[in-house]
Amino acid sequence: MRICLLAGPSTSPVLTSVMEVLAERHTVTTKDVESSAPVADDEPGGVADLYLLKSRSARARTIARRAQQRGALVVNSPEATEAALDRWEMADRLEAHGVPSPRSWRCATLEEMSLEAEAGTLPWPLVVKSRTSRRGDLVRLVRDVQELRALLPQWGQEPVIAQEYIDNDGYDVKFWFIGGHLSAARRAAALEVCDKSQDVALGASDLPAAWSHAASAAGAALGLDLFGADVVVKDGRPFVIDVNAFPGFQGAHRPVESLVAHLESLDTTRRIAS
Considering the chain, what is the average pLDDT of its residues? 91
Note whether 60 and 134 are within 8 A (CB): no
pLDDT-derived band at 180 (thresholds 50, 70, 90) equals confident
Under the banding of pLDDT at 50, 70 and 90, the label for residue 44 is very low
pLDDT of residue 10: 76
Q: What is the distance between the alpha carbons of residues 85 and 7, in angstroms, rounded to a whole number?
A: 16
**CATH numeric code, 104-164:** 3.30.1490.20
Least confident span in 28-37, 61-70, 95-104: 28-37
Q: Does the structure show a pLDDT above 80 at 122?
A: yes
Is 188:114 a contact under the CB 8 Å cutoff? no
* CATH number for region 83-100+167-245: 3.30.470.20
Q: What is the mean pLDDT of residues 113-129?
A: 95
- Residue 59: pLDDT over 70: yes
Q: Exposed/middle/buried for 33, CB within 10 Å: 0-12, 13-18, 19+?
A: buried
Q: What is the mean pLDDT of residues 124-152?
A: 97
All structural domains of the chain with their residue ranges? 2-75+254-273, 83-100+167-245, 104-164
Our CA angle for 189, 239, 168, nearest 5°, is: 45
Based on its alpha-carbon atoms, the radius of gyration of the chain, rounded to whole angstroms, reads 20
Over pLDDT 90: what percentage of the chain?
A: 82
Check residues 39 and 186 and name the one with the higher pLDDT. 186
Q: Is the pTM of this model over 0.75?
A: yes
Name the class of domain 2-75+254-273: alpha beta
